[in-house]
């Protein structure tokens, strides 16, 4: 991917995935990896930080004889997710405006 992924965007993606359903580290990574290239060494500190800041909660659940640590959104995390969504929408609108305007100019042949 050409576009740089900032830490806020990564935070937002993690919150979005967890807003859909609780999940555990491995699955979360696979889902994030579907969207963008990210290594676990980046993702784990993010989870850690989000947990520390009270956006995520963890709980353990047994699965086939071993423990899985699940992550879920706290109420605070849900609010944060909504916040990110709003910010993202307005950001996207602005960027779309700039990027698509370039395309229009191309079609109509307005140059210089």
Partner 1 sequence: MTRQEYMDELCRCLYDVHDQERIDALRYCEEYFDEAGLEHEQQAIEDLGKPAKFAAQLKAEAAIRSAEEAHKDDKRSFYDVGKIFIGILALPIALPLLLAAAMLMLAFYLTVILLIIAGILLALCGVTVFVILFFSAVFMPFTASSFVRIGIGFILLGISVLFGMGMTQALRFVVSWFTAMATKLYYKAKEGKRNEI
Which residues of this protein are in contact with partner 1, per CB under 8 A? 24-27, 29, 33, 39-42, 44-45, 48-49, 52, 66-69
Question: How big is the chain, counted in residues?
Answer: 112
Which of residues 53 and 100 has its CB atom nearest to partner 1 in the complex?
Answer: 53
E strand map for the chain: 23-24, 56-63, 66-73
User: What's the closest the beta carbon of residue 16 comes to partner 1, in angstroms?
Assistant: 20
User: What's the closest the beta carbon of residue 40 comes to partner 1, in angstroms?
Assistant: 4
Which of residues 24 and 88 has its CB atom nearest to partner 1 in the complex?
Answer: 24
Contacts of 67 (CB under 8 A, 6+ apart): 60, 61
């Amino acid at each position: 991917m050409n576009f740089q992924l900032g830490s806020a965007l990564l935070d937002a993606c993690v919150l979005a995935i967890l807003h859909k359903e609780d999940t555990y580290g491995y699955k979360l990574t696979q889902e994030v990896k579907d969207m963008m290239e990210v290594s676990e060494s980046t993702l784990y500190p993010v989870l850690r930080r989000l947990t520390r800041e009270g956006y995520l909660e963890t709980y353990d659940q047994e699965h086939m004889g071993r423990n899985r640590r699940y992550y879920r959104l706290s109420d605070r995390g849900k609010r944060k997710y909504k916040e990110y969504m709003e910010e993202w929408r307005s950001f996207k609108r602005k960027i779309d405006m700039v990027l698509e305007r370039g395309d229009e100019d191309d079609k109509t042949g307005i140059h210089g």
